[in-house]
Amino acid sequence: MARCGNRREAIYTNLRPGPYRFRVLACNNDGVWNTDGTTLAFSIRPVFYQTSGFLGACCAAVVGLAWVGYRLRARQVRASLDRRFEARLEERSRIARELHDTLLQGFISASMQLHTLVDQLPAESTEVSRLNRVLELMGRVIEEGRNAVRGLRAPGDNSDDLETAFSRIAQELNVDEKVRFRIIGEGHARPLCAPIREEVDRIGREALVNAFHHSRAGVIEVEVEFEPRRVRILVRDDGVGIDPQVLESGREGHWGLPGMRERAERIGGRLRVWTRACGGTEIELSVPARIAFGSECRDPPGAWWARLLSWGGQPRDGGKGVS
């Protein structure tokens, strides 16, 4: 804004820093104007808080504070997850002890009494075959109970990678040889944090068990993919698909799909299910890398270069298959 008066001066306010040129045109008492006028060049230097360096420093400080806040929050989330998992592991150990000391021991005692009874019956008795079938059934139940107790008492086993752990499921379930089972590994494999690996393993195991038992598929595949930003597990089959009602709320009396969703949500992952009638099913679990690996699972020297080479998406070792 300029104010003019008899003092032959102009006053400007709120001028921003920078170069300026002041030009003056005047006329005499007869009204004749000087068309050329005169100019005065000057500049206003910025104060320190108007410099680009100061603005850059402020932006860097804001970004730095945001990053520190993010790291602190991520550390708090991981610490909270670790505490919850430790509490769960203690509870599971307690349940395993109770199962072993009560239910499992009771089945074993009953089985021993039945064996004694069968030995006392005549070989030609018609009841012998029926009791042997009961003993066979009890033997399977006892073995399944032992496997369940072992799973409860020894969680978070990181001795095997995910591909090896998944490859054993077909052997454990005694899968029909007609079913083609294949495991594909992509990316540079990294060790997952123990609590996260346990949940990922159980989600993948549940998806595979459902595929083997219910899909009536001819081909079942598992992809284990390590990406820079996430860990991805994909289980797909070419079976009969999942009923929409079962997909929405789960099968009555079974907690497979709801349990998988709860586990994925608990570790900060995302579970997606695609299915269609007679068109197969795909179940995808995705866990962000910052959660899956954590601060204690840093890359060894040179691992970033190996991971860079693996970004092309080529399978490791060509994939593993069981048919």
pLDDT over 50 at 1, yes or no:
no
Q: What are phi and psi of 39, to 5 degrees?
A: -125, 155
Q: Is the pLDDT of residue 75 over 90?
A: no
- Is residue 169 a part of any domain in this protein? yes
The structure's pTM equals 0.50
Q: CATH code at 276?
A: 3.30.565.10
The predicted-structure confidence for 39-59, as pLDDT tens digits, reads as follows: 888 888 888 888 888 889 999
Q: 227: domain range?
A: 162-322
- Identify which has the larger pLDDT, 185 or 10: 185
Cβ 235 vs Cβ 214: under 8 Å: no
Determine, yes or no, domain membership for 156: no
Mean pLDDT of 188-194: 85
With 0-12 / 13-18 / 19 or more C-beta atoms within 10 angstroms meaning exposed / middle / buried, residue 128 is middle
Task: Write out pLDDT tens, residues 216-235.
Answer: 888 999 999 999 899 999 99
- What's the structural domain count of the chain? 1
Predicted local confidence at residue 255, as pLDDT: 61
Q: Tell me what the mean pLDDT of segment 285-308 comes to.
A: 62
In angstroms, the CA 8 to CA 6 distance is 5
The answer as to whether 257 is a domain residue is: yes
More confident residue, 289 or 34: 289
Contact indicator for 282, 236 with CB cutoff of 8 Å: yes
Tell me whether residue 278 is in a domain: yes
User: Among 8-22, 137-151, 263-277, which stretch is predicted with the lowest mean pLDDT?
Assistant: 137-151
Residue 308 lies in a domain: yes
Report the pLDDT value the prediction gives residue 115, as an integer from 0 to 100: 82
Whether 195 maps to a domain, the answer reads: yes
Residues pairing with 219 in the sheet = 180
Confirm whether 312 is domain-assigned. Answer: yes
Tokens 């070419």 label which residue?
A: 238
Average pLDDT, the chain: 78
Q: Pick 237 or 257 by higher pLDDT.
A: 237
Most confident segment among 230-239, 289-298, 308-317: 230-239
Does residue 235 contact residue 208 with C-beta atoms inside 8 Å?
yes
Q: Is the pLDDT of residue 196 over 80?
A: yes
Across residues 162-190, what is the average pLDDT?
A: 83
Average pLDDT on 301-307 reads 43
Higher pLDDT, 160 or 63: 63
- Asked if residue 24 is part of any domain, the answer here is no
Which is more confidently placed, 49 or 159? Answer: 49
- Residues 298-308 have a mean pLDDT of 43
List the one residue out of 194, 70, 94 whose CA is nearest residue 149.
94
Tell me the DSSP string of 177-238.
Answer: TTSEEEEEEES---PPPHHHHHHHHHHHHHHHHHHHHHS--SEEEEEEEE-SSEEEEEEEE-
Among 175, 290, 145, residue whose Cα is nearest residue 237: 175
